[in-house]
């Protein structure tokens, strides 16, 4: 019963995490066409909860998936699939740390009057990093789901 509950919590957290990245992917075509002022408004106002709630969800998904891998160690092929799934979620977090968060920090200091000339490069980095994260999270979620079969 414990393992079933743990797997359920892991899958819910992984799904919520993946959902946040998927929302960025769905928004990307429109956001790649807006001007710098509107994109800055999105970044500084629309995504505030993503940083706090999203961090708890993402770290929770990484930790619970790693723990699930440990809990089912030795159960083949499930444990290998769980390890691979946890690794994908961990890799998505690394992409956030290395690519998304640095953009978040930089853009957080911008004002409408101080948007740099290379803002489109920062936008592309942020958007494509989220697309990469979504792919990793989808793969991780799928592998975790298959680990229970």
Of how many residues is the chain composed? 149
Cβ-contact 21, 134 below 8 angstroms: yes
Q: Is the pTM of this model over 0.85?
A: yes
pLDDT digits (tens, 9 = 90+) for 89-141: 999 999 999 999 999 999 999 999 999 999 999 999 999 999 999 999 999 99
Q: Cα–Cα distances in Å, from 48 out to 36, 41, 64, 80?
A: 18, 11, 24, 36
Q: H or E stretch including 103?
A: helix 101-108
Whether the CA torsion 29, 51, 147, 81 is positive or negative: it is positive
> In the chain, which residue ranges form alpha helices assigned H by DSSP?
2-31, 36-41, 48-71, 78-95, 101-108, 119-147
Q: How far apart are CA 104 and CA 138, in angstroms?
A: 23
pLDDT digits (tens, 9 = 90+) for 2-53: 999 999 999 999 999 999 999 999 999 999 999 999 999 999 998 888 888 8
Instruction: Inform me whether the pLDDT recorded for 1 exceeds 90.
Output: no
């Amino acid at each position: 019963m414990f393992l079933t509950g743990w797997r359920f919590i892991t899958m819910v957290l992984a799904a919520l995490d993946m959902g946040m990245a998927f929302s960025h992917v769905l928004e990307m075509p429109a956001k790649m066409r807006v001007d710098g002022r509107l994109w800055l408004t999105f970044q500084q106002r629309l995504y505030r909860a993503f940083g706090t709630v999203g961090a708890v969800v993402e770290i929770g998904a990484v930790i619970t998936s790693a723990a699930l891998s440990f809990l089912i160690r030795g159960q083949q092929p499930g444990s290998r699939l769980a390890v691979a799934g946890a690794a994908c979620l961990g890799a998505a977090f690394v992409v956030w740390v290395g690519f998304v968060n640095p953009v978040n920090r930089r853009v957080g200091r911008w004002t409408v009057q101080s948007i740099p000339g290379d803002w489109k490069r920062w936008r592309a980095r942020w958007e494509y990093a989220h697309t990469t994260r979504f792919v990793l999270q989808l793969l991780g979620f799928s592998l975790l789901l298959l680990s229970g079969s």
